[in-house]
Amino acid sequence: MTQTSPGRRGRPRGTSARQLELIALRLFTGQGFHETTVDQIAEAAGVSRRTFFRYFDAKSEVLWAEFDNEVTTIRAMLAETPEDLPVMVAVRQAVIAANHYRAEDVPELRMRMHLISTVPELAASATVHYDAWERAIAEFVGRRTGQPGDSLYPLAAGRATLAACRAAYERWSARADADLTHYLDAALRALAAGFGDTALTTEPDPGSGSESGGVSARSTRRPRRPSAR
């Protein structure tokens, strides 16, 4: 019978990026982000430093595991969206579904968002994750509108959707008893008034603008007053 050395360190069964994220969150909250080392996170998880870096490129990446899972969920839900569902309705439903949290998980979510918004190193690491989130929306909008995902309308829709969701998160974080999905729903419904199917536009032709700043008078519309309904 083969015996395992009691001093051997490795990845315990069941160790995952999610578990490392939860351990790191606890340590960051208890002793501070800068005061916590990768070695401390790895030791608390019972894994080696090398194993930690198999999951994350840097300490600043460890709190993004759940966010990246959200992007995966949104992509999967949008891929199954019925063709007759309006674009921004589909986006709103997918985003809200991906952000349903159990009551016992809300404190963890609030702590993570607080750290990301207050620790400069964590905020600086957001770009690549936000880009992935925006691309998930932009590629869906592109498929539904017959445009490349990196063209103007899909990109604008993706980035505006993320901005609306970040605003919802910010306002939600200031209310201890608030329901995050209510804020997301309100923000995305307001956004849909500007990015609904009737507002579909193609990317401007660089040579079609007027001489006064390149804006065609035919494409300039007075903003509509939001409906009170």
Place 104 in a pLDDT band, splitting at 50, 70 and 90.
confident
What whole-number distance in Å separates Cα of residue 36 and Cα of residue 62?
12
Among 122, 154, 116, 120, which residue's Cα sits nearest to residue 137? 154
184 and 78 in one domain? yes
Number of domains forming the structure of the chain: 2
More confident residue, 211 or 81: 81
66 and 46 in one domain? no
pLDDT in tens, 151-200: 999 999 999 999 999 999 999 988 877 789 999 999 999 999 876 665 55
- The first and second tokens of residue 69, run together, are 């899972």
Whether 30 is covered by a domain: the verdict is yes
CATH assignment of the domain containing 24? 1.10.10.60
69 and 179 in one domain? yes
Whether 212 is covered by a domain: the verdict is no
Return all residues near 200 (Cβ < 8 A) that are at least 6 apart.
145, 153
Return the percentage of the chain with pLDDT > 70, whole number: 78
74 and 50 in one domain? no
85 and 36 in one domain? no
pLDDT in tens, 56-89: 999 999 999 889 999 999 999 999 999 999 999 9
CATH assignment of the domain containing 169? 1.10.357.10
159 and 48 in one domain? no
80 and 95 in one domain? yes
Give this prediction's pTM: 0.76
- The first and second tokens of residue 35, run together, are 């005061």
Stretch among 7-11, 112-116, 135-139 having the lowest mean pLDDT: 7-11
67 and 46 in one domain? no
State which of 40, 56, 72 marks the end of a domain.
56
3-state secondary structure 12-73: CCCCCHHHHHHHHHHHHHHHCCCCCCHHHHHHHHCCCHHHHHHHCCCHHHHHHHHHHHHHHH
Whether 95 is covered by a domain: the verdict is yes
Among 40, 60, 56, which residue's Cα sits nearest to residue 116? 60
Query: Span 3-22, mean pLDDT?
Result: 59
What whole-number distance in Å separates Cα of residue 88 and Cα of residue 199?
11
Per the CB < 8 A criterion, the answer to whether 99 and 184 are in contact is yes
More confident residue, 189 or 223: 189
Among 21, 10, 112, which residue's Cα sits nearest to residue 65? 21
Give the per-residue pLDDT at 174.
Answer: 85
Place 208 in a pLDDT band, splitting at 50, 70 and 90.
low
166 and 109 in one domain? yes
Give the per-residue pLDDT at 201.
Answer: 58
- Domain around 72: 62-198
Whether 22 is covered by a domain: the verdict is yes
